[in-house]
Amino acid sequence: MLSVLFAACKKNDTGPEGGSVRIESFTPAQGGGTTEMLINGENFSADASKIAVSINGRPLKIIAANDHQIMAIVPKRTGSGPVTVTVGGQTATSTDVFNYQYVHTVSTLAGDGTPGFANGNGTNAQFHFYDPVNNWYRASGIVVDQSLNVYVTDVGNNCIRKIDSAGNVSVFAGSPGNGGHADGKGTAARFNWPFSLGIDADDNVYCVDVLNWDIRKITPDGTATTIAWAKAEPWNIAVNKTTGDVYYSNIWAAQVYQLKKDQSFHDVIAGGFTWAAGLACDNNGNVYTVGMGNRAVWKIEANTWKTSIIAGSATGEEGYVNGVGAAARFANPWGLAADDAGNLYVAGNGTGDGGANADQSIRFIKAGTWDVSTFAGSGTPGFTNGVGGAATFSGPIGVAVDKNGAVYVLDKTNNAVRKIISE
């Protein structure tokens, strides 16, 4: 379609006429990777080698050009932003913004859907995230390091598992099936309900061990050390990667605690939530938590610890509605993660039975605007790989995001770890 339009609208192709380069319009206004974009303007060139087009600094491949038009292809993962054209040292930037539409593709990284214990590659591995007999949520901890290794709390097996970037699953720390409390390396360590994980800038993993009331630091070689005893039963944890400070929450007291890296402070910084669940930190030191009972996402401002609801109902109204800030609705949200841009990801299932919740998705909250949208999944439970809303989860309770923007989900009732690639 655009190729035909380009040929029909072609005027002269003699190159720049000595005036200023100017962008008048571009079409389409939105699209994903491989979208063909037609840019209209003045003083371009018929020599494509003299032209550079970019969005957010990412170059577009030019496939045709004349003095008044350029046709270019948008690369994957470009993001939204104005269009920039440079010809012969002159640069023009569009007033309008190209709205990039990501495609979120869900696959299974590891786990076969059956509760149990088995190391192996991909779906040959087994986890015990969920207990169908007692109908109880069994894990929410998931983090990813700089080498793209994923770590998950395998509560039913009382250990922490490691999944490398190729999908190979092994025991990182803890003795499968053997609960207790012991520091040590690898399987010499003992945990009793290791529920949530955090990770620092040096790839040390932090774990809250619910029934032991402790906070463990696990170095990249799998050595677990108790660094503090929690002041209340700890359920969720996050680490400020800039300062190394640790934050953990207690769902019953509805409070969030700070443990300074040097342990000069260890106390409550915020409260008043109903079931303070998932925790996340952004690069500015702000802390975020999910009030599962409030059905809202809260921001705890750095240093002042002032709290406010940034998404969801202030009155705890339940639902599955996208929208900006208070217009959004959640149904028992639990897991929370932040990416490098400060965007938040919410795992929508904090209930015991994965299929009973109205939200079986990962929601995306855009930084600053707090606009809530569905990232992948829907309100329907299942175990299907696919794109966006066509993919299904059953009890997504934990979420993490890596340095490249890939999202990982602890899919509780499916006893699997899922991966979402955005392009």
Give the CA dihedral 169, 171, 175, 177, nearest 10 degrees: -10
Confidence band, pLDDT 50/70/90 cuts, at residue 9:
very low
Model confidence over 379-394: pLDDT tens digits?
999 999 999 999 999 9
Q: d(Cα 53, Cα 71) in Å, to the nearest integer? A: 10
Give the residue-averaged pLDDT of 324-337.
95
Pairing of strands 58-59, 61-65: unpaired
Q: What percent of the chain has pLDDT over 90?
A: 85
**DSSP string for residues in 64-113:** EE-SSEEEEEPPTT--SEEEEEEETTEEEEEEEEEEE---EEEEEEE--S
pLDDT of residue 291: 87
Model confidence over 166-182: pLDDT tens digits?
999 999 999 998 999 99
Nearest to 150 by CA among 109, 200, 105: 109
Residue 317 in this model has a pLDDT that exceeds 80: yes
pLDDT of residue 16: 47
Nearest to 172 by CA among 193, 195, 188, 148: 188
Give the DSSP letter of residue 178: B
Give Dmax (Cα) for the chain: 79
Confidence band, pLDDT 50/70/90 cuts, at residue 11:
very low
